[in-house]
Structure 1
């Protein structure tokens, strides 16, 4: 019996010491046995802090969706649908951009649903409709996902995209640990490529590289940090775009700038930052967004992650004003860090 009990104990210890992260690599600081972690920040905020924030919010005068009237600019949409020559950038809303780059149509964090939520009847609701309907999009070659929260990874949008193309092959590029989620959807005939930080994948001469961001992942009560989060580098020839994803400020942006030398264009979040005591680790404010712009050595940046869903406490239309103040503080021209109207397209011939 003693031997049996000892064997049971050893078995339990062995199971407890095993990794539940199938991608675990002990040589990588952002890997844990259970998932992933940020390098520059101790993830210590939990349910208590979240409930405190939500309680405090009850006593604040936070504008609701009816208080906003954002303009949608569809001037160039018809051209964009058939565009195969000019590099362009169209802001669909939140962190969703259509990037036309070296012959590819690329979508970032596509979110075309009414709510950023696991259910259709509750959760953050759109203030502005998607500036271009998914059905009106050209065929999409690549979709890059920064993390698995519902404002970046939307199941209805993913399924619709998998059925959208008429001619081109669609590839989802996702952070490590996310492919299993896509496999469960049994999407056909799309490719799903998952990458760890610093790994890359090439599509028709355009290279996509996952790089660090400071955020987290969670889609249920029991899967926090199981899937990695990332920023993305898109490059072809000497042209280079940086998509920061959803992120707090951290030193790794300087490392990215040093690694790549410069970026012609950077897409950087400027919204969802209040209250700072709670949001700072995971969401940059406009001042920190400008610091990222400088750190990655961007020739030009465009603000995102604002003006679409009420996620946090600041007014939805405040980020551009705060961004202008930060640019003045750092003596940077407003033309170097721009804010688009929803739906606005700008052609990037002078950058790419």
Structure 2
């Protein structure tokens, strides 16, 4: 009787106030393009031992006048001169820091990619603060702008790319584009969520958004001997296409054949946003490189994709420096490798908070 009364009460409450549920749509690829799975967990398209086109072996962080720092590769600003880009795409890129970008398309659509405005979600942030002081400077950014957010895209669940607190700030008036299995990590609050498989697409007004592979992994919860959610949810990158122009966001990824697959599907990419951090320089180096691009791997990826313009990310004062020497060591290494390796891509270097029209 007690349970019946409780059920009736909850039902009446829902009828009066409306129970908050999310609207979830799933776009599955055909068997040829769908993300592979093993034992109901997603896997990379090209697992196994890797060989890399380039590797910096000596003097990887030489001093440069193009970067001005308060201390040794810490708290820096890029002060060099970027190459002039003549071909205009109509995209406006605002790098918020780490992996977070605000993108405006040629038609004026406003997208957020992996927006993380604060620290890690609680309680993980508290744990890191107690053990490693794993903090970063908060990006200087406001959501309150005249133009509404057309869509938010997340590449994967890791705490430096997806923050539940920030989702509540963004709100439920926009669309959320996410990998397969991702929607269950949203609270129930009338969010409009589209889960996508690799090489599937959806439209946002005049813009086509494609979800594409990355070489990484995914997890949100890991409790020894109790529960491990590794790879239950997919991961990937995003390709935004409008008016024949393309912008690619790689997500967290190691170097693999998937970059050439993306080029085969879409041809030359106008703008590529590719990470150059994080990487371990000592222990766990092989595993970390397997799922993260070093600066030289980012150059190889830009070559595979035939990127006309490449914007690196992951370094910086508003980054968590996960495994890097310092806040800007990846950028020092990239500038050295750009003088060493051949590439036709024009690398544009930004500081956090910079906005550029291309």
Structure 2 length-normalised TM: 0.73
Cα pair 1:196 1:210 within 8 Å, conserved? yes
The structure carrying a bigger helix percent of its residues is 1
Deviation at 1:41, TM superposition (A): 1.7
* Cα separation, partners in 2 of 1:143 and 1:29, compared to 1, 3 Å: closer
* Cα separation, partners in 2 of 1:262 and 1:347, compared to 1, 3 Å: same
Cα pair 1:244 1:266 within 8 Å, conserved? yes
The match for 1:324 among 335, 341, 346 is: 335
Give the Cα–Cα distance (whole angstroms) in 1 for the partners of residues 46 and 244 of structure 2.
30
Cα pair 2:157 2:220 within 8 Å, conserved? yes
Cα pair 2:93 2:104 within 8 Å, conserved? yes
Query: Secondary structure, in 3 states, of the residue corresponding to 1:89?
Result: strand
Query: Secondary structure, in 3 states, of the residue corresponding to 1:278?
Result: helix
Query: Secondary structure, in 3 states, of the residue corresponding to 2:210?
Result: strand
Residues 1:187 and 2:189 aligned together: yes
Match of 1:203 in 2: 204
Match of 1:277 in 2: 286
Deviation at 1:122, TM superposition (A): 2.8
Cα pair 1:272 1:314 within 8 Å, conserved? no
Give the Cα–Cα distance (whole angstroms) in 1 for the partners of residues 148 and 354 of structure 2.
19
Cα pair 1:90 1:346 within 8 Å, conserved? yes
Deviation at 1:151, TM superposition (A): 0.6
Cα pair 1:70 1:128 within 8 Å, conserved? no
Cα pair 1:299 1:336 within 8 Å, conserved? yes
* Cα separation, partners in 2 of 1:120 and 1:318, compared to 1, 3 Å: closer
Query: Secondary structure, in 3 states, of the residue corresponding to 2:290?
Result: coil
Deviations 1:299-347 (A, max 9, x none): 10101122211211422211111111222222337x8112201100111
Q: What does 1:47-58 align with in structure 2 at a 5 Å threshold?
A: none
Give the Cα–Cα distance (whole angstroms) in 2 for the partners of residues 126 and 136 of structure 1.
27
* Cα separation, partners in 2 of 1:339 and 1:32, compared to 1, 3 Å: same
Q: What does 1:41-190 align with in structure 2 at a 5 Å threshold?
A: 41-42=47-48, 68-70=74-76, 87-101=91-105, 102-115=107-120, 118-123=123-128, 125-135=134-144, 138-162=147-171, 169-182=173-186, 185-188=187-190, 190=191
Match of 2:55 in 1: none
Cα pair 2:76 2:327 within 8 Å, conserved? no
Query: Secondary structure, in 3 states, of the residue corresponding to 1:323?
Result: helix
* Cα separation, partners in 2 of 1:306 and 1:313, compared to 1, 3 Å: closer
Deviations 1:257-301 (A, max 9, x none): 121111110000011111322311110100000111111111101
Runs of 5+ in structure 1 lacking a partner? Answer: 1-22, 44-64, 74-84, 164-168
Deviation at 1:71, TM superposition (A): 5.4
* Cα separation, partners in 2 of 1:161 and 1:154, compared to 1, 3 Å: same
* Cα separation, partners in 2 of 1:130 and 1:170, compared to 1, 3 Å: same
Deviations 1:140-164 (A, max 9, x none): 111111111001111111111116x
The structure carrying a bigger strand percent of its residues is 2
Deviations 1:179-218 (A, max 9, x none): 2222xx0133x31101000111101011111111000110
* Cα separation, partners in 2 of 1:29 and 1:195, compared to 1, 3 Å: closer
Match of 1:338 in 2: 348
Match of 1:224 in 2: 230
Deviation at 1:24, TM superposition (A): 11
C-alpha RMSD of the superposition: 2.8
Cα pair 1:93 1:131 within 8 Å, conserved? no
Deviation at 1:128, TM superposition (A): 2.5
Query: Secondary structure, in 3 states, of the residue corresponding to 1:39?
Result: coil
Instruction: Please identify, of 233-242 and 31-40, the stretch whose mean Cα deviation from structure 2 is larger.
Output: 31-40
Instruction: Please identify, of 223-232 and 136-145, the stretch whose mean Cα deviation from structure 2 is larger.
Output: 136-145
The match for 1:238 among 213, 237, 244 is: 244
Between 1 and 2, higher relative CO (CA 8 Å, sep ≥ 6) is seen in: 2
Give the Cα–Cα distance (whole angstroms) in 2 for the partners of residues 313 and 69 of structure 1.
14
